[in-house]
Amino acid sequence: MDKCNFSYLILLLVPVFFSCTYFYGPQKIPLAKVGDEILYLTEVQSIIPENSSDEDSVLLAEDYIQKWIRTELLIKKAQENLTLAQRDVSKELEEYRNSLIIYRYQKELMAEKLDTTVSIQEITSFYNKNKENFSLGTDLIKGIYIKIPLQVIQPERAKAFCENTSGASMRELQAFCTRYAADYDFYTDKWVDAAVIFQNVPDAPEDIGSFISQNPVWENRDARFYYMICIQGFRLQGSDAPLEYIHDNIKNLIINERKTDFLKKVEDDVYTEGIRKNKFKIYEYETN
């Protein structure tokens, strides 16, 4: 059957995709066959979202049928060319089943009993004990990024605000940016990747780490905008990562350690219970 005829057949079947009162019953309508395997309408019907247009239903149905045919042909070809032993996947299926059952049991236990609350004291202690493992892979800064149209009279006035980091000065700068800036971002209370900030400006310094360690302000302009980055703090690549920057990572590490310990205890408890209740037996044989 060519593609045009195939699509036409699917289009004819669209009106019955969602009809449960079709005369023969949708479970009786075959759509494709490979060897002894038959694809019925009900299976295709189950993957068509409700309220789909006729056009969308045709496309989804046609795609599903073509994939089903290709899969069944591959299965048939594999069965024809593999030995009986090679086609026996019972061991792999049993291993997968067992792994899945154990995983679901462990998941339910952890959801019910694992404590995922991590205090700041635990995070700080973990950080101090493993500080050498938390060196930075990038330069970090705290500061302010501003982009002001050149139509604004003396856009570099924003620089004066950065020289005074008091609360009042920052509020004035916030008001100035709200009124005049095309884009701005205050990251004075969080560490951010310096490269991410400098990618927003023209002619960024090639050695960002060297620049931020020696200059409190970066400013430049192009044909349309004045740009400024006010650097209020920095950490260079290779130095210890600030605790607040990796706070969430450390929390996840602590929880993962708890999961490992929890699952090991579950396994040990199940084994101990097996011994206590004589749930297993090890056969011993004399050897020559």
Q: Is the dihedral of CA 117, 121, 127, 129 positive or negative?
A: negative
**Residue percentage of the chain with pLDDT more than 90:** 64
Tens digit of pLDDT for each residue in 186-222? Answer: 998 999 999 999 999 999 999 999 999 999 999 999 9
Domains along the sequence of the chain with CATH: 3-81 (no CATH), 89-134+248-288 (no CATH), 136-235 (3.10.50)
Judge whether residue 163 has pLDDT over 80.
no
DSSP-based three-state secondary structure for 219:
strand
Q: What pLDDT shows up at residue 69?
A: 94
CB 26 within 8 A of CB 14: no
Tens digit of pLDDT for each residue in 18-32? Answer: 454 444 555 578 889
CB 202 within 8 A of CB 195: no
Judge whether residue 234 has pLDDT over 60.
yes
